[in-house]
Chain A
Amino acid sequence: MKAWLDMMRAVLTRDAGADRVVPPAGFTVWLTVFTSGAMAFLTVFALALSLASGRLAESWDNELARSATLRISAPAGQMAEQTAAALKVLEQTPGVASARALSDAEQQALLEPWFGPDLPIDSLPVPQLIEVIETEDGYDSEGLRLRLQAEVPGAVLDEHTRWRRPLIAAAAKLRALGWVSILLIGAATGAMVTLAANAALAANSRVIAVLRLVGATDSYIASAFVRRFTLRTLIGAAGGTLLGLIAVLLMPGAGDAGAFLTGLRFQGLHWIFPFFVPPLAALVAFLATGYAARRVLERLD
């Protein structure tokens, strides 16, 4: 623990001498910057996807929870009668909190996305819709169906739950997948940085030998490499996050016509989350390089 704290102190305290002991050239520079940039970019997307899935699940859950629709298709002369009968059945059904017939204006608003605003709804054989709200305990849907079949032959009960539950489950799984992706991206970043750090340490074994010859401690040597890799990762991740944010900004938002579900952009305080990506990536690089450096230094002893 003390060794890690010493290294953290050395990494945070800039020492121009220590910064220069490791030769600056090498493919690991670009490998680290590019990898961390690409990973940060992907992390921003995974984060956006995960948060959007979460919103989607929540919105479906809230908006469609404990609601159903009763559709009555009947000849124009019987519509009012069947609607009244259906409402009566619903009133008497245990587990139904409320039921109300949608007005013409509400039905017109529902059809507007498909037929436009000037639909002459009165002259069309549009079924009457009844919104049914359940109590917490819910109703016996099979029993209700049988009763409706007997008393209101033109009624069809459409329960949202049937298609809502799998969709919510899918959205929740998508959200979990997003978080798993973020963890995998973090692990892959750590592995890549470890490989790059190992390559750099192996390529600089002579530098390490010279530093040991003049009395450098493991913390000093490790911090020279760790600081460099941490900074490169921070820079790469900052660039990747910035590009990711720009790309997410170009995605449809919740209010756009293209956002048929929820929109992939971050919303509200969620915009803060991507800004944690570069420091977290740097922390991963610090731990991965520190671990690699300690292992290599032990091996070279």
Chain B
Amino acid sequence: MIELENVAYSYGGEALLTDMSLSLPAGSFHFLTGPSGAGKTTFLKLCYGALRPTSGALRLFGEDLAAFDRDAVALARRRIGVVHQDCQFLDHLPVIENIALPLSVSGLAAQDQEDNLQELLNWVGLTGRANALPPELSGGERQRAALARALILSPDIILADEPTGNVDWEMSQRLLRLLVELNKMGKTVMIATHDLALIRAAKAQVQARVLRISDGSIQAAGADL
């Protein structure tokens, strides 16, 4: 699904990530951990084409990202569901329209997907909040809405950046269960988090590989996780 070969990324002359080689096969479950500022978000952005490697090769769905123009990146992104810590909604649109946004940009009419939308809302427990505006939602509701939006096009890969950063333990367990459930449906999942308790809880439910970014490089985390 995503392959990195000696990928490095620099910004303003400063090397943020160096010599990263990694493969995310279909159906795998990865955690990406490391201290704040280590480059977890940058790594995820590379994975969904928001940033391009300074050197090395990154392949998305078997194609070299270097050969992608902006439209090709946009099309690839429709196969990658992204959940950000700050969710990134259009605050003037109700939750249901925010969730349906990927349908609109893909040229699919939301009306034709009404059943899917309702099913998804029900699955993330937001049926009663469909017409609320994003600022009216709690942290947990926002994260679930962001997850629903990431899933509406049934992507192959789900990348979540600190999805439990703004929610309580109970809600983070609920979100984790949803992500584990998706992985069992065959989706590739990668979660960037520094929440070690979440990782431990996940490892009890799913076979997850834990990666750690430190000093600009990536390696498998220790056995204590």
Contacts and interface: CB of A to CB of B under 8 A. Distances in A.
A211 interface: yes
Given A17-B110, A18-B104, A216-B74, A209 B93 contact: no
Nearest to B48: A213
Given A207-B90, A213-B82, A213-B88, A218 B70 contact: yes
A215 B100 CA distance: 12
A297 B104 CA distance: 19
Secondary structure dominating the interface of A:
helix
A146 B75 CA distance: 89
Interface string B81-115: 01010001110110001001111111000100000
Contact of A214 (B70, B71, B92, B101): B101
B177 interface: no
A20 B93 contact: yes
B194 interface: no
Contacts of A121: none
Interface residues of A, number: 23
Contact of A17 (B70, B77, B89, B100): B100
A209 B106 contact: no
A63 interface: no
A15 interface: yes
Nearest to B88: A210
Task: Give chain B's interface residue range (CB within 8 Å of chain A).
Answer: 20 to 34
Given A217-B70, A218-B71, A301-B70, A211 B105 contact: yes
A23 interface: yes
A185 B140 CA distance: 53
A215 B71 contact: no
B137 to A, nearest CB: 15
A73 to B, nearest CB: 84
Contacts of A214: 77-78, 101-102, 105, 149
Contacts of A215: 74-75, 77-78, 102, 105-106, 153
Nearest to B78: A215
A-B pairs, top 7 by smallest CB distance, nearest first, are A17-B104, A215-B78, A216-B105, A215-B77, A214-B102, A217-B74, A23-B92
22 contacts: A17-B97, A18-B104, A20-B93, A23-B92, A24-B92, A210-B101, A211-B101, A211-B105, A212-B77, A213-B50, A213-B84, A213-B88, A214-B77, A214-B101, A214-B105, A215-B77, A216-B105, A217-B70, A217-B71, A217-B75, A219-B71, A297-B70
